Structure 1
Amino acid sequence: MKRFFIIPAAFALLLTACSEDEDQTEAEEAASGASNLEVRDDPSEITEDTVEDDSSEYEYPLTGLPADNEEAAAERPVAVTINNHPDARPQSGLNQADVVYEMLAEGEVTRMVALYQSEWPEVFGPVRSARDYHIDVARGFDSVFVTHGGSPSALSRLGAGEIPSLNGLHYEGTLFEREAHRQAPHNSYISADHLEEGIREEGIEQERAINSLSFSEDEPDVSSSEAFEAEITYPQGQYNVTYTFDETEEAYMRSSDGDETVDERTSERIGAENIFIMSASHNVIDDEGRRDISLQEGGRGYLLRGGEMYDVDWINQDGRLVPAVEGEEVPLAPGQTWVNVLNAPLGEVVEITDEESL
């Protein structure tokens, strides 16, 4: 039987009025630099006492870790657009995401799409507005898409039903709530119970046959070099990212603008077993600086796992962006994955350092 837990909320959710279109704040950002939902367990906490004897037959498709049962492994992913503005940090729930994509938006800010399948946090957020490429990422995993607003093109696609979605523009003050300790647009959150409620209200199917990412405990049969730390430079320094390998955790711990990335409610340090850094073509498409990111053509990538960097390509495999060599998918280490999609040749914006050189 699946074991569940509820993390106590650190503070109450208070509703505040916000009628302003969230996308109007992008230029300012650049200038300023279910009912009693049973929240799923952290797979890393599963022990022999809490897992059925046959649980090893099943794996979560986005982490490769043991699943409680077949039903748990088939639960539909949820993709949440997460705000990464400095005023939105630290965020809530990123520590429990299976896969996180970090991508540029207008104003040279970055925004995230966090995928949840193996577990949900109690609260997700701050939730921010969507762009077309966020929808593309979510569709690749047949996800339920969660956003608060969007670009005109993204809203058109959501309105046409391209992907099942919950939008804070339609559920302001009901499913989505504004927290008083932050200013809009950096304070929109959705709780796990409200997310479950919205999925039920919209009649969204919650079970899906999910194509698993490729995982292996074994090191890939690909040439590699030591990678103790990776530094990613973005146009705005507030969004620079550092991943540092922790041998005890066997994961890369994340920092942003020199500060450790932690969960707002638990203060848990955030890291991932896999860091996938890829370069893709970006084109500005309107006067607001919105971008088109080409996620079809493939390109160069770095895969970091186990303290090693593997020089790979990235390919679009049925809508999912995966590392590959000569067209064959390179397996990830079982666990969580962070993906950084960059707008420059990797050698110009990514610095890989071995332990001895630090």
Structure 2
Amino acid sequence: MRHGARRRRTALTAALVAAAMTVSLTAGCTRHGTADDARAPHRTTAPTGSAPPGAPLAVKIDNVPEARPQTGLDAADVVYTEQVEGGLSRLMAVYATTMPESVGPVRSARESDLELLRQFAEPTLAFSGAQRKLLPLIHQAPLRAASPDEAADAYYRSAEKGAPHNLYLHPARLLPSAPGRAALTTGFHYGPAPAGGTPESSRTVRYPSARFTFTWSARRGGWLVAMDGTPTVRSDGSRVAPATVVVQYVRIRSSRFHDTLGSNTPYTETVGSGKAEVLRDGRSFDATWSRPAATVGTAFKTADGGRMDFADGQVWVVFAAAPS
């Protein structure tokens, strides 16, 4: 009897040690470094259900100097820039026609991301985490949440950068294949440039603590991107050069959320209407934008009311504060 009890105690101890090691390793793989990346209860399984056909992948990407150069930006169909706490910027890259091998660094989501993503049919949102009070809203939204808590095996840490700027995503582990251009229900139209426009060699958009500069390259047929004065490059060192850049003037207000320092999180309103500037083919076109509901894309019109077509290729949309 004593030998049997000892064997049972030994087996139980071994099981508890193994369980503790598993929890420790799992936590180490998913710690994001800051409280704004707070997580829901940890899970190591894939997100519930597979990505529906025709659903794009949206990835929140870090954009502070420590995060650069980013990986996978050049493969995105659309890159949105948004203002976050402290007047800094963050990116959301949307993938539908091409899935790169990796994307990152991946960072946390914001409340206004949910409104922006309503234009897509059940998109997959890859993000590192979110403010704790925001997490329930993300999981109630009509999207497939895919943070490391829902899909741990889709993420990895790079040794080339320090936390929290070193979390990267393998998109193929979330979407087995690119859904195709039909998934880009942005409302954008592509075609020849309209008549008119003003020759433009360079355009800078400023946030309180960040700036984006787009410089026309006839050789590349696109706008060379620089962020905070640093050229935005691909893994081979060549510049990221979207064919079209949209400066969309929107209302940026305070949201109901704050970061750990008490700074309010800005909310970028993407439903409504306003003015815009469209850069394509080395020219700038005055335009207007309209998005009457969150479930539809954004329509762009020329100054005379015609349809504003974009150049074929990648589009960057810079959300800038509308003049008050």
Structure 1 residue 140 corresponds to structure 2 residue 110: no
- Return closer, same or farther for 1:196/1:77 CA change in 2, 3 Å cut-off: closer
Which residue of 16, 22, 42 corresponds with 2:34? 22
Tell me which residue corresponds to 1:149: 129
Tell me which residue corresponds to 2:309: 331
- Long gaps (5+) in structure 2: 1-26, 39-52
1-side partners of 2:144 and 2:306: how far apart?
31
Tell me which residue corresponds to 2:246: 276
Residues 61-83 of structure 1: CA distance to partner in whole angstroms, max 9, x if unpaired?
xxxxxxxxxxxxx8432111111
Deviation, 1:213, is 2.7
Which residue of 118, 130, 133 corresponds with 2:109? 130
Residue 338 of structure 1 aligns to a residue in which SS?
A: strand
Residue 284 of structure 1 aligns to a residue in which SS?
A: strand
Tell me which residue corresponds to 1:292: 267
Q: How does 1:114-263 map to 2 (within 5 A)?
A: 114-142=93-121, 143-152=123-132, 154-172=134-152, 174-196=153-175, 210=183, 211=185, 213-216=188-191, 218-221=192-195, 223-236=196-209, 239-263=210-234
Deviation, 1:117, is 0.9
1-side partners of 2:287 and 2:232: how far apart?
26
1-side partners of 2:141 and 2:285: how far apart?
38
Deviation, 1:310, is 0.5
Q: Which has the larger radius of gyration?
A: 2
Which residue of 72, 78, 88 corresponds with 1:93? 72
2-side partners of 1:145 and 1:328: how far apart?
33
Tell me which residue corresponds to 2:236: 266
2-side partners of 1:258 and 1:344: how far apart?
23
2-side partners of 1:307 and 1:345: how far apart?
25
* One-letter identity of the residue aligned with 1:165: A
Residue 86 of structure 2 aligns to a residue in which SS?
A: helix
Q: Residues 78 and 144 of structure 1 are in contact (CA less than 8 Å); yes or no, is this contact kept in structure 2?
A: yes
- Return closer, same or farther for 1:344/1:206 CA change in 2, 3 Å cut-off: closer
2-side partners of 1:330 and 1:157: how far apart?
34
Deviation, 1:194, is 2.2
Tell me which residue corresponds to 1:84: 63
- TM-score by structure 2 length? 0.76
How many residues are treated as equivalent by the alignment?
273
2-side partners of 1:226 and 1:166: how far apart?
42
Q: Residues 16 and 178 of structure 1 are in contact (CA less than 8 Å); yes or no, is this contact kept in structure 2?
A: no
2-side partners of 1:206 and 1:98: how far apart?
12
* One-letter identity of the residue aligned with 2:251: S
- Return closer, same or farther for 1:327/1:152 CA change in 2, 3 Å cut-off: farther
Aligned-pair identity (%): 25
* One-letter identity of the residue aligned with 2:285: Y
Q: Residues 81 and 114 of structure 1 are in contact (CA less than 8 Å); yes or no, is this contact kept in structure 2?
A: yes
Which residue of 312, 318, 321 corresponds with 2:298? 321
- Long gaps (5+) in structure 1: 1-14, 27-73, 200-204, 347-358
Q: CA RMSD in A?
A: 2.8
